[in-house]
Structure 1
């Protein structure tokens, strides 16, 4: 955000130039070609991290596309119109709070306003969950039956190191990946994303796991295996006060789980995806907030059309 004073009126206005998320930050950390050398505790590694931590936050904007694409919603935008935006993979939007926005139609790229509030996919799902009785039959349907499962699930294995996992997140622009058991296939590269379907789920590595991580801890943890890192984070006092799910806790469901159960897990655990596993704990896919919003919107539109 930058502050600018209008010459004609002298009024100071806020201009939002972008948004920084944890994915932007981890992508920035992994954005050097020489990052392959970051497997030890060398002076070069420490110096490189120190240099990265000193840059202005504005220089991080744009490492992930969404940070450059700020969207606004008119305060009078309907829930269905909001869902139309969020089911396309947009995770958040700004809602201008001043009266000059009354004539803005639907969704558009952000313009200047005196103040904004942030509306996220999670906010929307919490609202819909609070009004569950009005959603009727859709919530009792299985996630498989309503097509809410995304079977394209990329994973890392239990030999992948933290810095390698960060690179994987950056490459695929993913906020989180499941950790699966490594196979006996000597051709499997633990430095790359792999197809997680049918593999044993043992953990989750998320960009937000690094939130609150002190610089000294970060330079120590980067060479560790991601699964080791998750174990350390779950017991570290640095993360003791964090709200939501413990990094060690697996939030998952089965294909026949009702949508209501999945939404409840999303809201209560404050996670942005639920892994879908079979009875043996093997990955089937995932249900993300985007998929949930999408199936709810289709259901609501069908009910309106039937009236």
Structure 2
């Protein structure tokens, strides 16, 4: 009798659970924000804040009051990538799986992580876009072969190309002033431990931003910052990398991996922001039928993302992923909280976009800044129509990309305005770029060159 077909990693994830981004993580007031419009309907000064924090200095609030044990999801080094991915895409507001050596007691120093950046790295290896150094060629080839054949791969086998995040552990009895100095310095998450040293929660940047948004009415030194415009705060960075909407999706994924980014702006031929692709979106590529998306344009993938989220034209009148220099901090934070994003793209007033052909036309090779590898050609027969940027919701509401403001920037501002001394975030950003042991081929040739927008 013929043996049953072994399901591949992608086949097993064909029926993935609903997107965690579609299930909004509850705010501290208990009501999950659905849209930016909902958040603006009640300004910070009028929201029903949590009475637990009334009359308290936020710097004296304990980290344990914000951390939730339900955010802690465990795996071991022997857990397969498929199993860890299933844990990651289920209802997991922290967007991370903690990894310990085995099922026994865990020393905090032995804890590692598996997140969407690691899943992105794994997928790039499996599809052959990763170019290892000489000593790792055999390992990459072995993982690519096993991944394509559906052979289970344990997490320990992919550690060499997973980015090593800086893991900081603080006691649940430490106060928020300690946490904001860490998170405002560019660390994305903190592990929270109890008196025995066991990990009982995760406090990440977004959770802290949500806290200050919901409870700002209690904290005058934070509340006073919300009405100020971004241009006056001076917190938006002018160093921005973007990808052209006609470029292959592989360009965006490799750029995020090489630069240690969690998201990248997608722009049209006039450098107007037309969308956003984040590392969380790679969950849409674990379906066997989705493999050709790597060869499609970024604009096509954005349409897939919007369809998966169930967004219809006109549902949210506010452009979701961008703000302008005249936007207030309140406007910016509201968008970050509503979209659960790590950054907002700063745009100047709209500029005319060069006409876009109805179908993808031949274009020069795409080279991500900082690499010099030759691009690959698309698979024979692969064809994806180019989707005009103007066809997507909010396309006429953006503008020319000129900067970016992140959760790190805002928490750094909150810390400094309160007299604290967070470290320079640029140090962590440089560390993330250095943490990979491999380079990644820049693209599958399917579109115009990526944009390197630096000011």
Q: Which TM-score band (shorter chain)?
A: 0.7 to 0.9
Among candidates 183, 203, 210, match of residue 275 of structure 2: 203
Is 1:120 the counterpart of 2:192 in the alignment?
Answer: no
Contact 1:30 1:170 in 2 (8 A): no
Instruction: Count matched residues.
Output: 252
Root-mean-square deviation (CA, aligned residues, Å) is: 2.9
Q: Displacement, 1:233?
A: 2.8
Is 1:298 the counterpart of 2:416 in the alignment?
Answer: yes
- Aligned in 2, Cα 1:202/1:52: closer, same or farther, shift over 3 Å? farther
Deviations 1:102-155 (A, max 9, x none): xxxxxxxxxxx3342111001111111122121232111111211210110100
Secondary structure of the 2:112 match is coil
For 1:62 and 1:289, how far apart are their aligned partners in 2?
28
Is 1:234 the counterpart of 2:306 in the alignment?
Answer: yes
- Aligned in 2, Cα 1:286/1:86: closer, same or farther, shift over 3 Å? same
Among candidates 157, 172, 188, match of residue 75 of structure 1: 172
- Aligned in 2, Cα 1:33/1:47: closer, same or farther, shift over 3 Å? closer
Is 1:63 the counterpart of 2:161 in the alignment?
Answer: yes
- Aligned in 2, Cα 1:36/1:18: closer, same or farther, shift over 3 Å? closer
Q: Displacement, 1:34?
A: 4.8
Q: Which residue of 1 aligns with 2:21?
A: none
Contact 2:100 2:112 in 1 (8 A): no
Secondary structure of the 1:264 match is helix
Q: Displacement, 1:55?
A: 1.6
Contact 2:230 2:328 in 1 (8 A): yes
For 1:79 and 1:252, how far apart are their aligned partners in 2?
29
Is 1:171 the counterpart of 2:258 in the alignment?
Answer: yes
Q: Which has the larger displacement, 78-87 or 287-296?
A: 78-87
Instruction: Specify which structure has the bigger relative contact order, considering alpha-carbon pairs within 8 angstroms and separated by 6 or more residues.
Output: 2
Among candidates 209, 213, 219, match of residue 129 of structure 1: 213
Is 1:27 the counterpart of 2:121 in the alignment?
Answer: yes
Query: Which runs of structure 1 show a deviation greater than 6 angstroms over 4 or more consecutive aligned residues?
Result: none
Deviations 1:161-209 (A, max 9, x none): 11222111111111111111136xxxxxxxxxxxxxxx21111111111
Which segments of 5 or more consecutive residues in structure 1 lack a partner in the other structure?
6-11, 38-45, 101-112, 184-198, 303-307
Q: Which residue of 2 aligns with 1:17?
A: 111
For 2:335 and 2:113, how far apart are their aligned partners in 1?
27
TM-score (norm 2): 0.50
Q: Displacement, 1:28?
A: 2.6
Secondary structure of the 1:140 match is coil
Secondary structure of the 2:419 match is helix
For 1:209 and 1:152, how far apart are their aligned partners in 2?
23
Q: Which residue of 2 aligns with 1:162?
A: 249
